[in-house]
Structure 1
Amino acid sequence: MKITVLAGGVGGARFALGLRDAARELHGDADIRIVTNVGDDVWLAGVKVCPDLDSLLYALAGVGDTERGWGRAGESERVAAELTAYGVGWPWFTLGDLDLGTHLARTAMLRDGATLTEATARLAARWPVGATLLPVTDDEVPTHVVTDEGVLHFEEWWVRTRAQLPAHRFVQHGVERSRIAPAARTAIADADVILLAPSNPVVSIGTIIGIPGVRDALETATAPVVGVAPIIGGRAVRGMAEACLAAIGVEADAAAIAAHYGARSAGGLLDGWLLAEEDAASLATVEALGIRAAVRPLWLTPGAPAAQVARDALQLAASIAG
């Protein structure tokens, strides 16, 4: 069983943990491939930082900081303090010492000629993560945010301003020259099931889909595509997705996001969509779009609940596939 997931950071990591448990239970030897957003990536203090890839890596490796939701557990920040003392980097974007080890290793691999896909595989080989992490592209496509105060890197807008500065639009620099990474394309093409994690529809899933070649790969894939709503009762499950959705004129509503993605039968992305129990009234609205919908509990708390969400997504995909 080949399961491919399109995912962003923290929400994607929680879903991936549940999927790994559910897939082992349902399919035993399932091959899980996670095609990951790289629009948040940034070069900082001379090192390549990949927030979404690292959130997934640390969560699956069991070394992530579950309280903060990002970074490594048991961190220290001595190096970050020294960088701040030298006036280097962003003082509001703290890199822990263990986390810096990852960034330094990745940077060394890239400088030696490895692609981001190759470097990610080498980093993940350190732990039994139970999945293959695949950056959607090996090219650099940093997301910038256009605001009244100028153009900010996405991480500055997200972390320093806490998304409180209204965004007019999001721009992935260099996206027109980028291409889907070969391994990511294969993961979509030969999948038995394709899942859209409950990640930010704009700057995570949206960035992935915006890479040239991804939409074509999804359109021609034979596997059913099932998404999990990242909005429950009009609120984001995690993070500040409402601010991102407002910038593109999409309501923070599970049915509105399903309509934004669209039905594959009408040139969109989705065959199926999982709605939270709090949004059960939208079931008919989603199905009227040509998308098979199901209502289930969607809160991604650790352990069994996250696994149940993944199990429900796989079961919806199975029913669509027949």
Structure 2
Amino acid sequence: MKPGHYLALAGGVGGARLAAGLARALPAGHLTVAVNTGDDFDHVGLHVAPDIDTVTYTLAGINNAEQGWGIGGESWAAMGALTRLGGPDWFLLGDQDLATHILRTQRMRAGETLSAITADFAARLGISQTIVPMSDDPVRSIVETDEGTLPFQEYFVRRRCEPRFRSIRFEGAETARPAAGLLAALDDPALAGIILCPSNPILSVRPILSLPGIADRLRARRVPIVAVSPFIGAKAVKGPAGKIFAELGLAPTPSGLIACYDGLIDGLVIDHEDTDAACPVRRHVTGTLMRDSDDQTRLAREVLDFTTALHAG
């Protein structure tokens, strides 16, 4: 593995799990995880940042490992009281998780940036790597479906991705500024590689790429970009990526993933079950299912070694 600094683009459970493996595989301070904020939203007066929290809790080792999101050993007293009083019950907020949203909202209203708050929370939870939101400016994912236009969490959580997916747009992205931490990672002279985690390419990675200048800077990269497939056996490991790909006319396979990234990547990490012949980029074949922290770390080390090999030519 080449020493240096690595940038990972992540969102969702799969992205968080690989990010946690990368965090363990690399020395402290050698990883920046830029996280999707397109699924952030205001709920019962609170700023909820699901992907940032999933990444943060996972890197801190306090996540609910079974369900992938939320905090392990969570309780739900506040949610029960909220429901009894007629509040919305379609988006679950655990008691410990609720503390994150309350403090984040309070500090943002006082003028702090999402980047500063995220960094402080990560430090307090003992995380030695850098977690940054993709932007401190609001960007909201809006899904066009066969039933009309839906805000992301309405589509993803309330409707459980049931409506047919037609397209997605990122409201505010055209004027949003990439977070300073994301730009600093891209400009770092020690940058050795960029890793697209096994997140949903459309729901989690594309919002980051929609920010002004980011896709162009990645295409003009001086280091390899490696994507880790979120598919095994032509099925998504978790979440609706397979359904969305099918509804967009893309195959949930390495070739479909390469088409989705449209020439952006130099290498692809895929599972043994997905060795289809159509792969115009270099690939590394391994077991990509991350059942536990050992799997996360093993896969992360293989991804880093593969990135180093690509860098060496």
Provide the TM-score with structure 1 as the length reference. 0.91
Q: CA deviation at 1:247?
A: 4.2
Checking the alignment, whether the CA contact within 8 Å between 2:8 and 2:33 is kept in structure 1 is yes
Given that residues 189 and 221 in structure 1 are in contact (C-alpha distance below 8 angstroms), is that contact kept between their aligned partners in structure 2?
A: no
Alignment match, 1:238: 238
* 1:274 is aligned to 2:272: no
Asked whether 1:22 is paired with 2:22, we answer no
Q: How many residues align?
A: 307
- Between the aligned partners of 2:116 and 2:229, the Cα distance in structure 1 is 31
- Is the deviation greater in 230-239 or in 183-192? 183-192
Shift of 1:147: 2.2
Which whole-Å deviations, capped at 9, do the CAs of 1:204-255 have from their partners, x for residues lacking one?
0111111112112212332211111111110001111112223433221122
Q: Distance between the aligned counterparts of 1:137 and 1:29, measured in 2?
A: 23
Task: After TM superposition, give the deviation of residue 21 of structure 1 in Å.
Answer: 2.5
- Preserved CA contact (<8 Å) 1:189 1:217: no
* Structure 2 residue 306 is matched with structure 1 residue 320: no
Give the secondary structure class of the aligned counterpart of 1:60. Answer: helix
Query: Which is worse superposed, 41-50 or 188-197?
Result: 188-197
Measured in 1, the distance between the counterparts of 2:141 and 2:85 equals 27
Aligned with 2:178: secondary structure? coil
Contact 2:28 2:129 in 1 (8 A): no
The code of the aligned residue for 1:22 comes to: A
Return the letter of the residue paired with 2:221.
Answer: A
- Name stretches of at least 5 consecutive residues in structure 2 with no aligned partner: none
Query: Is residue 254–residue 276 contact of structure 2 (8 Å, CA) maintained in 1?
Result: no
293-302 or 198-207, larger mean C-alpha shift: 293-302
> CA separation in 2, counterparts of 1:21 and 1:121?
18
- Matched residue, 1:216: 216
Please tell me whether the aligned partners of residues 141 and 174 of structure 1 are also in contact (alpha carbons under 8 angstroms).
Answer: yes
| Residue aligned with 1:273, SS | strand
- Residue 7 of structure 1 corresponds to 10
Shift of 1:61: 0.9
Contact 2:39 2:140 in 1 (8 A): yes
Q: CA deviation at 1:260?
A: 2.1
8 Å CA contact 2:29, 2:128 repeated in 1: no
Calculate the TM-score normalised by the size of structure 2: 0.93
Classify the secondary structure of the residue corresponding to 2:34: strand
- Does 2:168 align with 1:178? no
- Which residue matches 1:265? none
Report the counterpart of residue 304 of structure 1 in structure 2. 294
- Kept in 2: contact 1:179–1:213 (CA 8 A): no
Alignment match, 2:62: 63
For 1:83 and 1:169, locate their aligned partners in 2 and report how far apart those are by CA, in whole Å. Answer: 34
Q: Secondary structure at the match of 1:170?
A: strand
Instruction: State the distance in 2 between where 1:310 and 1:13 align.
Output: 12
CA distance in 1 between counterparts of 2:146 and 2:285 reads: 40
* Greater displacement, 3-12 / 60-69: 60-69
- Structure 1: distance between partners of 2:276 and 2:264: 22
Question: In structure 1, what residue type is equivalent to 2:72?
Answer: A
Superposed CA offset, 1:143-183 (max 9, x none) = 12222333222122112222122122212211222121121
Return the letter of the residue paired with 1:313. Answer: V
- Distance in structure 1 (CA, Å) of the matches to 2:298 and 2:163: 36
Q: Which amino acid aligns with 2:307?
A: A
Paired with 1:66 and 1:2, the residues of 2 have a C-alpha distance of 27
Output the CA distance in 1 between the equivalents of 2:240 and 2:232.
13
Asked if structure 2 preserves the Cα contact closer than 8 Å seen for 1:7 and 1:36, the reply is yes
Contact kept in structure 1, 2:29 and 2:129, CA below 8 Å: no
Q: Which amino acid aligns with 1:304?
A: D
Gaps of 5+ in 1: 263-267
Equivalent position amino acid for 1:47 in 2: L
| Contact 2:19 2:59 (C-alpha < 8 Å) held by counterparts | yes
Tell me the CA shift for residue 304 of structure 1.
2.1
How far, CA to CA, are the matches of 1:29 and 1:63 in structure 2? 19
- Where does residue 42 of structure 1 map in the other structure? 41
Shift of 1:79: 1.6
CA contact (8 A) 1:65 1:72 kept: yes
* Partner Cα distance (1:313, 1:205) in 2: 18
- Distance (Å, rounded) in 1 between the aligned partners of 2:122 and 2:294: 24
User: Is it true that 1:167 corresponds to 2:170 in the alignment?
Assistant: no
Aligned pair in 2 of structure 1 residues 9, 232: CA closer, same or farther (>3 Å)? same
Distance 2:135 2:145 in 1: 26
Q: Matches of 2:152 and 2:254 in 1, distance apart?
A: 24
**Per-residue deviation at 1:30?**
5.5
State the 1:98 CA deviation: 0.8
Letter in 2 for 1:64: N
C-alpha separation in 2, matches of 1:6 and 1:195: 6
**Matched residue type, 2:109:** R
